[in-house]
Chains A and B, each alone.
Chain A
C-alpha cells in the first residue's frame, strides 16, 4: 500500500491563527481504503485543516499539500439554495463534477430520506433535511477522496448509521475519507485517528 501514490499527501503542515499555533509539522498520507477521523477539541483547527486540505485556504500556513485525486469537500455550510428544490439543487450544482439525470438524482434523494421532497422548495425543509440534500451528493459522487467537515451535524440517528455505512462502502471500493466529527464512528472498519497535535495515532 505504501508504494502506491497517495490520494492526498501532507508534508510538515503548520498553521498559526491569531498568534496561537494550531498545529505544527503535521505529516500524513491518505491512501485508497483509508478512513481518517480528525480529532481535536473545539477551536483546535479541524475546520482550518479541512479547508487547507481542500485547497480553499491557500495562504497563512506553511508546509505542502499534494492532491492526486479529484476530491469532494462538504463543509459546515450546505450550499443548498432555498429557492431551488432538492432536485434542482443537485442538477444545477455549482461544483460541476457531473451531469446528473433525474434517474440518478431520484434514487440519491430517496437514499437520504428525501423521497417525496424532490420538488419542494428547499426553504420549506428543515436544517437536517438541508444537510441531507448536501449528503445526497455523496451518493452521486465519483470522486475517490471525500473531505467531510462534521457530516453528522443535524442528522438523526438512523441517518448517521446510514452515512457510516456509506463511508465504509466508499473506502472498501477504493476510496478514501477524511472527516471531522466529535462522535465515535460505529463501523466495522479500521478507523485511523489523526490528532492535530500528535499526528496520526496508531
Chain B
C-alpha cells in the first residue's frame, strides 16, 4: 500500500480531473459556445465587409480566446474547495507543485486545446486568410497554456471568496496582456506574409517561464486560501 510516485500521482489527478470534466460536458461546451457566439456577433457589429473582418480577425480571435479562458479559470479549484478535497490535496505528501500542474494541464486540455483545434472554423467565419490559420492554431496552443497557468494563480487566490469572478479579472488581466499582444501579433504577421516564428518563440518562452513559476504562486495561493 505504498504511496504512488509523484508522476503516477500526477497522472492520477489528471485522470480524475478529466473524468470529472467529461461527466459535466456543459463545462467543456460553454467556452466553445461562447467563442462561437461572439465570433458570430462581430460581423453584425462591424458590418459584413470581408476585407475589414479579415484585418480585425487576429485580434478578435485572440481576445475571445482570452475572455473564454478568463471565464473558465475561476472554476478550476472551486468545487474541490467547496467539498474539502483541496484540504486533502494540501495535506498530501506529494509535491504540490506537480499536483497543481496536473490541475492546470487538465484545464488546458478541456479549454485551450479544444479551442485551438476548432479555431480554424471560427477563423474562416471571420475570413482570416487560409495561410494564417497554421499560425493561429500554433499561437493559440502555446498562448492558451500560458493563460491557463496565469488564470489558475487568480483562481487559487480567490477560491476562498464567494464571488471571486471580478477580482480574478482585475488580478489576472494585466498578466494576460503580453500573451494577447504576442499571440495576435503572430497571427497578424502570418496574414501579411511575414514570419510568425519569432512571436511564437516568445510565446514559447513565456510558457516555459510560466510553467516554472506559476505553480509556485498557485501553491502559495492555495495555502493562503485554505488557511483563511
Q: Is the CB of B93 within 8 A of A98?
A: no
Q: Is the interface of B mostly helix, strand, loop or mixed?
A: helix
A97 and B15 contacting across the interface, CB-CB below 8 Å:
no
B13's closest neighbor in chain A, by CB? A94
What residue in chain A is nearest B16 (Cβ atoms)? A92
Question: Given A56-B226, A94-B92 in contact, is the A79-B19 Cβ separation under 8 Å?
Answer: no
Counting chain B CB atoms within 10 Å of each CB, which of A60, A80, A83 scores highest? A83
Given contacts A84-B20, A92-B19, A100-B1, contact A79 B93 (CB under 8 A): no
Taking residues whose C-beta sits less than 8 angstroms from the other chain, chain B's interface range is: 20 to 34
A77 partner, pick from B23, B84, B99, beta carbons under 8 A = B84
Specify which chain A residues have a CB less than 8 angstroms from the CB of B19 in the assembled complex.
83-84, 88, 92
A95 with B89: in contact, given A56-B226, A58-B223, A142-B1 (CB under 8 Å)? yes
Q: Return the chain A residue nearest B89 by Cβ.
A: A94
Given the contacts A94-B16, A96-B9, A98-B1, A83 and B88 also touching, CB distance less than 8 Å: no
Min Cβ gap A180→B in Å is 16
Number of CB contacts from chain A to chain B under 8 A? 90
Q: Judge whether B84 and A55 touch: CB under 8 Å.
A: no
Q: Give the docked Cα–Cα distance between A145 and B2 (Å).
A: 16
A162 close to B (CB within 8 Å): no
B8 at the interface (CB under 8 A from A): yes
In the complex, the chain B residue whose C-beta lies closest to that of A99 is B4
Closest residue of B by beta carbon distance from A97: B3
How far does the Cβ of A17 sit from chain B's closest Cβ, in whole Å? Answer: 12
| A-contacting residues, B68-95, CB 8 Å | 79-80, 82-94
B83 touches A77 (CB 8 A): yes
A77 to B89, CA, bound (A): 13
Within 8 A of B (CB), among A51-96: 54-60, 70-71, 73, 75-84, 88, 92-96
The answer to whether residues A78 and B83 also contact, given A94-B92, A95-B88, A96-B4 and a CB cut-off of 8 A, is yes
- Whether A73 pairs with B91 at a CB distance below 8 angstroms is yes
Provided the pairs A56-B91, A76-B84 are in contact, do residues A83 and B24 lie with their beta carbons within 8 angstroms?
yes
Q: Which of A70, A76, A98 contacts B4 (CB 8 A)?
A: A98
List of B residues within 8 angstroms of A78 by Cβ:
83-84
A140 at interface, CB cutoff 8 A: yes
Using known A-B contacts A54-B91, A83-B20, determine if residue A98 contacts B83 with beta carbons closer than 8 Å.
no
Residues of chain B with a CB closer than 8 A to A80's CB: 83
8 A-B pairs whose Cβ atoms sit less than 8 Å apart in the complex: A56-B87, A56-B90, A73-B88, A73-B91, A92-B13, A96-B3, A96-B94, A99-B2
A residues with a Cβ closer than 8 A to B are 54-60, 70-71, 73, 75-84, 88, 92-100, 104, 140, 142
Seen from chain B, the residues whose Cβ lies within 8 Å of a Cβ on chain A are: 1-4, 8-9, 12-13, 15-16, 19-20, 23-24, 79-80, 82-94, 99, 223, 226-227
Q: What would 15 more interface pairs be, CB under 8 Å, given A77-B84, A97-B3?
A: A57-B227, A71-B91, A79-B84, A81-B83, A83-B23, A84-B19, A88-B19, A92-B12, A92-B13, A94-B13, A96-B92, A98-B1, A98-B4, A99-B2, A100-B1
